[in-house]
């Protein structure tokens, strides 16, 4: 299968938990019956809820898998711009209303030019890394509430947020890209070593394996992993507490912490360039074609267990 699809933007993917697996025959039938299609054409994938003037929630809504693509970019940019421009908002929670998926991989179907033709953002970086940098540097506290799959873009957006809180039972984080033959593009090489150290960062990036909520907490991938039944109330209480404080003081504290913790913008930009270069290589194109033939974006089992599928690519039959 020829991949003119997204020769360009597979920022990450997801896999899942304990959902019932398809049988091989069912998976094969599903992938044959369903044709690859763009998964990011909807106009309401990023929704803002103003809980109070000081406390907002940004909800990802692109069922069934919360895939991210070039059509998602202007919607997320609109949300980020609103956060930056509002004089009252102090804290924003990023969340999902799609069961089992926080935010996952880039849409494979649109051609590469749909991504590379987007103009740079205000930082001068390409659109996606630009927005992730702006989230990190905005004078507003950002919190990722992770329930379900946060892979690729989802992991990268969580890493760009100021704090991350995960469901102990249902969160799953990963940077799966190495299994598909290319380099992540949204900043995890710059951010992960600062959070968890070099060795653990390399473990995450070079295996492409899943990191569940409890291990993510132990590694420093997230601030805390909480029982799923307690996660929403905990994050809501924290957001409301922060929202009561003085906005300028919040901005001053965050800005000073940023000086000692954030990677420079050019490091984030270099990752995007490495991503674009690597995804065009024949090895990546072959692996991406194989994944699409297996049913990526159409077969739920592939989306839920992507590291298992990428781990088998390129193997000679025994």
pLDDT tens-place string over residues 213-246: 999 999 999 999 999 999 999 999 999 999 999 9
Per-residue pLDDT, 112: 83
Residue of 171, 110, 103, 160 whose CA lies nearest to 137: 160
End-to-end CA distance of the chain: 23
Residue with tokens 């070079």: 206
Per-residue pLDDT, 13: 35
Strands (E), the chain: 46-52, 55-60, 91-96, 101-103, 141-146, 149-151, 163-167, 172-174, 211-212, 224-226
Per-residue pLDDT, 46: 98
Residue of 96, 94, 99 whose CA lies nearest to 239: 94
Sites in the chain below the pLDDT cut of 70: 1-37, 315-318
Per-residue pLDDT, 2: 40
- Residue 290: left (phi > 0), alpha (psi -120 to 50), or beta? alpha
**Is residue 289 within 8 Å of 33, Cβ to Cβ?**
no
User: Domains of the chain (ranges plus CATH)?
Assistant: 24-310 (3.90.226.10)
- Residue 66: left (phi > 0), alpha (psi -120 to 50), or beta? left
DSSP 178: G
Per-residue pLDDT, 316: 53
């Amino acid at each position: 299968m020829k991949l003119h699809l997204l020769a360009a933007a597979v920022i990450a993917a997801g896999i899942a938990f304990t959902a019932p697996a398809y049988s091989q025959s069912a998976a094969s039938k599903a992938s044959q019956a369903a044709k690859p299609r763009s998964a990011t054409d909807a106009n309401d994938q990023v929704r803002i809820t103003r809980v109070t003037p000081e406390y907002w929630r940004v909800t990802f809504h692109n069922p069934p898998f919360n895939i991210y693509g070039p059509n998602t970019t202007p919607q997320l940019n609109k949300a980020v711009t609103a956060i930056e421009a509002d004089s009252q908002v102090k804290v924003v929670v990023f969340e999902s209303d799609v069961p089992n998926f926080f935010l996952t991989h880039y849409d494979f179907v649109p051609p590469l030019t749909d991504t590379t033709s987007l103009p740079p953002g205000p930082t001068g970086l390409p659109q996606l890394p630009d927005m992730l940098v702006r989230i990190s540097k905005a004078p507003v506290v950002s919190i990722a509430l992770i329930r379900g799959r946060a892979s690729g873009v989802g992991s990268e957006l969580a890493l760009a947020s100021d704090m991350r809180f995960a469901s102990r039972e249902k969160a799953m984080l990963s940077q799966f890209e190495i299994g598909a033959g290319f380099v992540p593009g949204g900043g995890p090489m710059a951010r992960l070593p600062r959070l968890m150290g070099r060795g653990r960062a390399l473990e995450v990036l070079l295996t492409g394996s899943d990191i569940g909520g409890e291990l993510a907490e132990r590694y420093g991938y997230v601030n805390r992993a909480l029982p799923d039944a307690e996660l929403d109330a905990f994050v809501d209480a924290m957001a409301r507490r922060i929202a009561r404080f003085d906005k300028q003081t919040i901005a001053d504290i965050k800005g000073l912490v940023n000086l000692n913790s954030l990677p420079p913008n050019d490091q984030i930009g270099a990752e995007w360039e490495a991503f674009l270069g690597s995804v065009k290589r024949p090895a990546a194109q072959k692996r991406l074609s194989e994944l699409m033939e297996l049913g990526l974006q159409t077969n739920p089992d592939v989306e839920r267990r992507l590291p298992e599928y990428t781990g088998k690519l390129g193997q000679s039959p025994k």
